Amino acid sequence: MRRFRSGGLGWVAVLSILSIGGCGGHPPAGQSPFIARIILNPGGNSSIQVGSFIGFSASATNSAGNNVGATFTYTSSDTSILNIASNGAACAGRWDAAFTSCTPGGIGAVQVTASAGGVSSPPSFVFVHPQVDNITYAMLREGGTLYLGGDIGTAGGQPCSRIAALDADTGAALPLSFTSGPNTTVYSLAKQGNTIYAGGSFLSAGGQARGYIAAWDTLSGNLLPFNPGFDGTVRHLNIDLQGLYAGGDFNNVAGQNRPGFVRMSPSGVLDSLNLQMSAGVYDFNRQGNRILLGGSFGTVANQSHYYFAAVDDNTLFPLDYADERLLLARGQAEACSFLVIVLMKSGATAPEASDAFRECAHRT
């Protein structure tokens, strides 16, 4: 059992102050008091250890994009895994009656939303994982198995080498052992059939050369021959019927110039996709025949696309998203591009994501 010492009443006070929409709590003349959109923070994906805490907050805007005062209700899709107090303080387990101590509960993935005035935020996803000895960057659940990647050396009480396989319900280490894991950090995982892929900053796995990406048999835990030869960090992986996608800070793959983003067969053979990213790709997602990219790049296929781009998967050519050019500061641009990726992963349509990017651009 762990004690929460951030002060529950203090959170309520802060949120109460933030919810005041003007003098006396009334909106300025001409400003609509009706909520059109709610943004939950943190958004996207979060990973926390069972029995620990995470704090949520939310903000509301009207149809003009102006802030609107609101009292939010926070909802967890599975309260046996994540329990949320009225002030947004969440326990990876069960709160006591006073919301001061957290008893560890189940593990797994939970959706969190904030709602007010009949409007709900896009969900944030919280992955509650068993106790591990170091930072976890990647989590992948398939059926009853939870795969972890990061800088971990032990998980579920068993030694591992930056990749682990746990029982998704109990958190116990499975007999499968990845002792031939990478020599440094794993940032992303992807799985197809009995093969799991890991991307990161490593140069070897199990004592064998593996440049920034490697693959293992999930039945035996053995390292596979897969070794396409990246020359820089792989930050994100995904696999579907079209192939295995990788984004990161690399320039060349298998001796061919493929900066930032690449697609290959599950065995590591490159296809013709070559977007010539000017800098790294940190996250991406597919929607229909479009691939959405977020990162630190400024051009895609020699066209100006600042930090966010959409690529037609049929023509392999970037689409025109003029809203990108609204941003001047790199940090602001990256933040907004990641917002778009998160929304798309949550099921938003391309026009909705474009609107969100434009609002983010104007507000940052």
Burial of residue 182 (number of CB atoms within 10 Å: 0-12, 13-18, 19+): buried
List, for residues 142-169, the tens digit of each pLDDT value. Answer: 888 888 898 888 877 777 888 888 887 6
pLDDT of residue 335: 57
Half-sphere exposure in the Cβ direction for 289 (13 Å, CA) = 8
Q: How far apart are CA 262 and CA 264, in angstroms?
A: 7
What tokens does 105 get? 């509960």
The full length of the chain comes to 364
What DSSP line would sit under 295-343, residue for residue? ES-SEETTEE--SEEEEETTTTEE---GGGGG--SHHHHHHHHHHHHHH
Mean pLDDT of 261-289: 88
Class of domain 2-128: mainly beta
d(CA 304, CA 168): 43
The domain limits of the chain are 2-128, 130-363
Closest alpha carbon to 102 in 166, 171, 8:
8
Q: Do domains 2-128 and 130-363 have the same CATH topology?
A: no
d(C-alpha 250, C-alpha 235), whole Å: 10
* Nearest partner of 175 among 190, 160, 161, judged by Cα: 160
d(CA 87, CA 100): 12
pLDDT for position 233: 95
| pLDDT tens figures, 303-352 | 888 777 888 877 767 776 544 443 334 445 555 665 666 555 555 665 56
CA 307 to chain centre: 16
Which residue has better confidence, 173 or 81? 81
User: In the block, which residue shows the tokens 């696309």?
Assistant: 305
pTM above 0.75, yes or no: no
| CB contact at 8 A, 82 and 126 | yes
| Each residue's pLDDT tens digit, 172-197 | 778 777 768 899 999 999 999 999 99
- Cβ-contact 264, 239 below 8 angstroms: no
Residue-level pLDDT at 76: 95
**Which tokens hold the place of 100?**
């001061």
Q: Which fold has domain 130-363?
A: Methylamine Dehydrogenase; Chain H (2.130.10)
